[in-house]
Each structure stands twice: as C-alpha cells, then as structure tokens.
Chain A
Amino acid sequence: MSDRRYMRVATHMPPGHVRTPAYLRGKVGWVERTLGPFPNPEELAYGVTAAKLRLMRVRFTMAEVWGPDAEHPDDTIDAEIYAHWLSPTDAPHAT
C-alpha cells in the first residue's frame, strides 16, 4: 500500500532501560497510529526530567521480523516505539 508510512527501527544497542525490543531493531514497519507525546521512558527510569516524544505504533510483518523462519509471513507484530528510534524509509523488499 502506497500510503503507508514506513519506518526503520534504529540498531542502537545502548545499556540501560530501553523500551524498544531487541528483536525489532533494524526492522522496517509502517505506522499503525501515532500516540503521545509521552515522557521519554529512557529518562523517566532514572528520575531525571523527561522530554516528551511522539510514540508510534509500528506494524511489522512476521516475514520482516523473522525472515524465512516466520511461522506465517503475513501475520503481524505491532509495537509502540518512541520517535527517536525511528527514521522514515522505503517499503522493505517483498520477501
């Protein structure tokens, strides 16, 4: 679908409290809806003043996340990811 807004999740691997699941890092999905802004949990977790960020619900196909190991390629995973972990990108190649 051409009107989908695709996003790639950053591949950062910082220590500490991060709400971006490791299994989604580097993966491409599309924005299901936008939420927030909410205070950044990476700052809240340490008791410091937290900047407010947009929170995106991003939808990934199982094929994108697990590749050939996917149980059912067209099933999906939705996750909430803070905007600073996302950058706009093109649709992933068909799998």
Chain B
Amino acid sequence: MGGDAAGPIPTEQHDFSLWEKRVDALMVIASSKGHFTVDGLRRVLEDMSPQSFETMTYYERWIASVNQNLIESGVYTTAELAARMSDVAARGATYGEASHE
C-alpha cells in the first residue's frame, strides 16, 4: 500500500460505537492472555482480499480476524461459533435485542 497513488485524505470522523469498542476490547484481552498475537491479527487482515477494504468496516475486519485466530488457537470450534451466532440472530432484529438473552 505504501507509495500507491490515492486521492485526498478523508476527513470524516465517526465516534466508536459500543460494538466496535467491544471488538477492540476482545482483541486486547484475548491477545494479552496469549490466545493469539498481534501479528496473528495482522496476518488475517492482510490475507483478506482487497475487496474487503471496500465492503467491510475497520472493526468488521477486526472481528473476522479475531475469530479466525481464536479458532486456530483452539479456544472454540467453528461449530460452537455457528450455533451461538444462530442463537444470537434468533433473539431479535437489532443489536440491542440480540445482545441480551
């Protein structure tokens, strides 16, 4: 990326939402406890297709990377994640509704 031609630096700024802060916190906590390294986080981010930069937000890419690292390090399985994500989706249509049981 360094040196590539690109347009003006964007100036919009958004406040971080709760779910983004939670992604950040999960990354810091899980890596500080030795479940993966910052380099593991970066590796998965870098391996994503260039298209991901257009279609996913910063913290969307982060949670995808955190997830892949946690599965690789054996903290939980894909099956456990899949079942829980379905449970979460069944709780409601909004983040607020899905965040509580």
Q: Do chains A and B touch in the complex (CB under 8 A)?
A: yes
Point out which of B40, B43, B46 has the most chain A C-beta atoms below 10 A from its C-beta. B43
Is the pair B39, A44 in contact by a Cβ cutoff of 8 Å?
Answer: yes
Smallest Cβ distance from B77 to chain A, in angstroms?
A: 16
**1/0 per residue B33-44: CB within 8 Å of A?**
000110110110
Q: Kindly state the separation between the CA atoms of A54 and B29 in the bound complex, as whole angstroms.
A: 28
**1/0 per residue A42-84: CB within 8 Å of B?**
1011110000000000000000011000000000000000000
Q: Kindly state the separation between the CA atoms of A21 and B43 in the bound complex, as whole angstroms.
A: 14
Chain A, 1-44, CB within 8 A of any chain B CB:
16-17, 19, 21-24, 41-42, 44
Chain A interface size, under 10 / 10 to 19 / 20 to 34 / 35 or more: 10 to 19
Is the pair A17, B72 in contact by a Cβ cutoff of 8 Å?
Answer: no
Smallest Cβ distance from A92 to chain B, in angstroms?
A: 18
Q: Specify which chain B residues have a CB less than 8 angstroms from the CB of A44 in the assembled complex.
A: 37, 39-40
Q: Kindly state the separation between the CA atoms of A21 and B2 in the bound complex, as whole angstroms.
A: 7
Is the pair A41, B2 in contact by a Cβ cutoff of 8 Å?
Answer: no
Is the pair A41, B39 in contact by a Cβ cutoff of 8 Å?
Answer: yes
9 contacts between A and B (CB under 8 A): A17-B43, A19-B39, A23-B3, A44-B37, A44-B39, A47-B36, A47-B37, A47-B40, A66-B3
A44-B39, A45-B43, A47-B72 known, 16 other contacts, Cβ within 8 Å: A16-B43, A17-B42, A17-B46, A23-B2, A23-B3, A41-B39, A41-B42, A42-B39, A44-B37, A45-B37, A46-B43, A47-B36, A47-B37, A47-B73, A65-B3, A66-B3
